[in-house]
Amino acid sequence: MLHSELIQIIHEHFGLTALKLTKINGYENQNFTINTKNKKYILKTYLYDSILKEELDAESQILEKLIGNISIQSPVPVKTNKNTYLYVHHTEKQSYLIRIVSFLEGTFLGEITCEASVSYDLGIAMSKLNLELKKHHFSSLRAKKSKWDLAHFDLNKPLLKFVENESLKSRIKYFFTKYDTEVRPTLTALTPQLIHGDANEWNLLSDGSSIKGIIDFGDMCQSYRICDIAICITYLCYDKRHPLEWMSDFLKAYHSNDPLTAKEIHILYYLVAARLCTSLCNSARSRHLDPENVYASSSQKNAERLLNLWFKYNPILIQNMALEAIGLKTLDSEIDAEKILNKRSLFFVKNLSLSYSEPINMKSAAFQYMYGLKGETYLDAYNNIPHVGHSHPLISEAIYKQQSTLNTNTRYLYHQLGDYAEKLLSKFPEKLCKVFFVNSGSAASDLAIRIAQAYNKRKKVLVMEHGYHGNTKIGIDISHYKYANKKGPGRQEHITKTDIPDTYRGEFTQENAGHKYAQKTIQLLSGVENEVSCFISEPIVGCGGQVPLAPGYLKELYPHLKAKGIVCISDEVQTGFGRLGFDFWGFEYHGVIPDMVILGKPMGNGHPLGAVVCSAELAEEFSKGVEFFSSFGGNPVSCAVGSAVLDIIEKEQLQNNAFLVGDYYKNELIKLSKDHPCIGNVRGSGLFLGIDLVHPNTNHTFYNLAQHVKNSFRKNHILISTDGPDDSVLKTKPPLCFNTENVDQVVTELNRALERFDYNKSSH
Ligand SMILES: Cc1ncc(COP(=O)(O)O)c(C=O)c1O
């Protein structure tokens, strides 16, 4: 519509003389400020829609009712000379709805750095507003369904496709999943009421210490007051250094007027996240439609920042802080913890070990964070099973969808088995073209030995010093780490152990160490080669203290063993699936191709999934024996999960992340070692690293120091463990979504822990 046309409408139908009409940018509809001689107004225009007409009419009626009944200013609607709130303007092409409201003078909360008192004042203002809104009922607003209403968060799901960053998309999806389980069941039990629905920093006026007014009631709808509170808290916390303090003050004030319930508080954490995700989905869509949209980009940045921070908060922490702020009883974690521990000692024996002298009670986890029962958040720098991240929504979705459709066994036909096998095998050299699915790394290593022995009809197994391959009978037999333990069963006669080719502390440390170690192993087998069935080893020996086999070792040894008919097995349970960064598999890291590969842990991201991958030749021989059947191995659910893991690694470029973040991690640790001579060696690749702690300027293991560091990490909420023959190597192998900020947290804490250690008191 032309300005002149509008000025005429304003005059004729609203009785105002517009001296100036200025377009306001940033709204989907055309909005203007009107300057008259004495006052300023806002003119809002909308394309005609009969439902919208009813909604706008209701909105204006409510605005009228708010005057004098709330503690802050709100826009006053201007009626037409026919005593209506809306003027319907028809043109040849289109009809419009036109309305005018008063303009509120003042400064937006988003424009100023405000004092902390604002949060309290906002709490009071919003409670009074909500108490007033609660009194009014309009069927048109009850019927309104908006994607900005957190009660209809799901309406934003279709917008996920506009989020380009796949990791961000997964994090948003996570909160969609949590909404289903945590929010929806509670929300539906609450009493609905009218809410403003968009009390963000650009809709609130403030003088820096208090709230003066609220504008834009366009998102008003029949929803739940806790949704409105969550929206308010989101924008209040957006850019704050200590957001939770602002949240607490707001809630304290709100509750003093309009008491909240524990049920509402329970879902607050997830509702704030839902609001952030709504904002992210919508700004992604806006940027997709208009890549130059500056507003969308800046709001995306803020929302992403707070979302990342939100993951660092344990939901229980938010819940307890909020409950405490309003004077309600917080959750009692002590009772739960005691019960859990009691049952554990009642039904289990003590060699089912627990980490730390004060064990951690875990409640939930998301991506690289784990949340304890007491409200504490742990940065997970240790667990490699949740390879693509704890509680990854695509894994949960894969399990749920397949489990609720079909879960059966390999004696029936279903496409998932072949599809997953094809996807998995595409990650291997052509020669490794057959797969057996089982349910653990142990089952895989057990089967691998059987396949090798069936192939060459030999019994002897060559194993690696400090190697670990599983908990079955065969698994223990071939794991030097277990059988040679002082409580272990000892070496079986058919087992030959070779020295770990360790270039840091081993016999050979020079450049040609790989060659020397290989020759030593060859020597060891001299005369008995024809009795040895297979050689099993990890590419980087985890339990040995993250020791990479010396460069060139496997490259020299494999051809020799293969020439003697010995099957070479690479245990990739720890090192596989892109963890090493540059290489997808550990055998690639060593430039060799084994005859057989064992998979486990990360393969199912926590779902029990393992596999043996081997050459057709080996599989063929094994197939002549008794039937191979695993009740759960390769079931449709496992296949769906395994397939999802591979998809996520690719989509979220997690191998590349392991490469980049791992490189940064290793370099930062090496830098730190310059200040701390007790860091003897930093080794490994990608996000599979070991930090060997030693008595300064020697390579003697330093058990007490490693335990001190591990425990101070625990105290400061970082999960990291120790391993190696003397339990003196810090082991870090986090989920692959670990980022450089996480690395900085670990390295800073390591520096602090090393600085705090009292060398005079500890000599071991
Ligand atoms: C290298 C290696 N192989 C095999 C296994 C056994 O896997 P699972 O515990 O799934 O049976 C493990 C477990 O820690 C391992 O680290």
- Locate 375 and state its tokens: 């409200």
- Locate 405 and state its tokens: 């459709």
Q: Sheet holding 718-719: strands in order across?
A: 362-366, 369-372, 377-380, 718-719
CB of residue 723 inside a 6 A radius of ligand 1: no
pLDDT at residue 473 in the model: 98
Question: Do 680 and 690 contact (CB within 8 A), yes or no?
Answer: no
CB of residue 445 inside a 6 A radius of ligand 1: yes
Q: Which atom of ligand 1 is nearest to the CA of 472?
A: 11
The pTM of the full predicted model, rounded to 2 decimals, is 0.95
**C-alpha–C-alpha distance, residues 269 and 371, integer Å:** 13
Q: How far is the CA of 434 from the centre of ligand 1 (A)?
A: 21
Q: How far is the CA of 468 from the centre of ligand 1 (A)?
A: 7
Question: Do 122 and 236 contact (CB within 8 A), yes or no?
Answer: yes
**C-alpha–C-alpha distance, residues 242 and 231, integer Å:** 17
Question: Do 386 and 170 contact (CB within 8 A), yes or no?
Answer: no
**C-alpha–C-alpha distance, residues 712 and 115, integer Å:** 36
Partners of 77 in the β-ladder: 101
CB of residue 474 inside a 6 A radius of ligand 1: no
Task: Bin 648: left if φ > 0, else alpha if -120 < ψ < 50, else beta.
Answer: alpha
CB of residue 469 inside a 6 A radius of ligand 1: yes
Q: What's the DSSP call for residue 103?
A: P
DSSP state letters, 350-416? TTS--SSSS---EEEEEBTEEEETTS-EEEESS--SSTT-BT-HHHHHHHHHHHTT----TTS--HH
pLDDT at residue 301 in the model: 86
Tokens 């020799």 correspond to 560
Q: Which long-range contacts (CB under 8 A, 24 or more apart) does 509-513 make?
A: 512/552, 513/550, 513/551, 513/553
pLDDT at residue 28 in the model: 67
CB of residue 441 inside a 6 A radius of ligand 1: yes
Q: What's the DSSP call for residue 476?
A: H
CB of residue 586 inside a 6 A radius of ligand 1: no
Which amino acid is it at 6? L
**C-alpha–C-alpha distance, residues 14 and 100, integer Å:** 8
pLDDT at residue 302 in the model: 86
Q: What's the DSSP call for residue 607?
A: B
CB of residue 470 inside a 6 A radius of ligand 1: yes
Task: Bin 133: left if φ > 0, else alpha if -120 < ψ < 50, else beta.
Answer: alpha
- Locate 703 and state its tokens: 């058990």
pLDDT at residue 763 in the model: 64
CB of residue 680 inside a 6 A radius of ligand 1: no
**C-alpha–C-alpha distance, residues 669 and 428, integer Å:** 32
Q: What's the DSSP call for residue 152?
A: G
CB of residue 387 inside a 6 A radius of ligand 1: no
**C-alpha–C-alpha distance, residues 350 and 250, integer Å:** 48
**C-alpha–C-alpha distance, residues 207 and 113, integer Å:** 10
CB of residue 59 inside a 6 A radius of ligand 1: no
**C-alpha–C-alpha distance, residues 257 and 238, integer Å:** 25
Q: Which long-range contacts (CB under 8 A, 24 or more apart) does 5-8 make?
A: 6/32, 6/43, 6/45, 6/98
CB atoms inside a 10 Å sphere around CB 659:
19
Q: How far is the CA of 534 from the centre of ligand 1 (A)?
A: 18
- Locate 2 and state its tokens: 């032309």
Question: Do 247 and 237 contact (CB within 8 A), yes or no?
Answer: yes
pLDDT at residue 370 in the model: 98
Helices (H), 526-611: 553-563, 586-589
Q: How far is the CA of 573 from the centre of ligand 1 (A)?
A: 6
Q: Which atom of ligand 1 is nearest to the CA of 470?
A: 6
Question: Do 251 and 232 contact (CB within 8 A), yes or no?
Answer: no
The number of residues making up the chain comes to 764
**C-alpha–C-alpha distance, residues 362 and 197, integer Å:** 35
What 3-state class would DSSP assign to 312? helix
pLDDT at residue 77 in the model: 97
CB of residue 538 inside a 6 A radius of ligand 1: yes
Q: How far is the CA of 442 from the centre of ligand 1 (A)?
A: 6
For residue 194, the surrounding DSSP H or E stretch is: strand 193-195
Question: Do 711 and 633 contact (CB within 8 A), yes or no?
Answer: no
Nearest CA owner, ligand 1 atom 7: 441
Walk along the chain (764 residues) in steps of 10 and give the mean pLDDT of each run.
Answer: 89 95 79 94 95 95 95 96 95 93 95 92 97 95 94 98 97 98 95 96 94 95 97 92 94 97 97 97 91 74 93 97 95 83 92 90 97 96 98 98 98 98 98 98 98 98 98 98 96 98 96 97 96 98 98 98 98 98 98 98 98 98 96 98 98 98 98 97 98 96 97 97 97 98 98 93 69
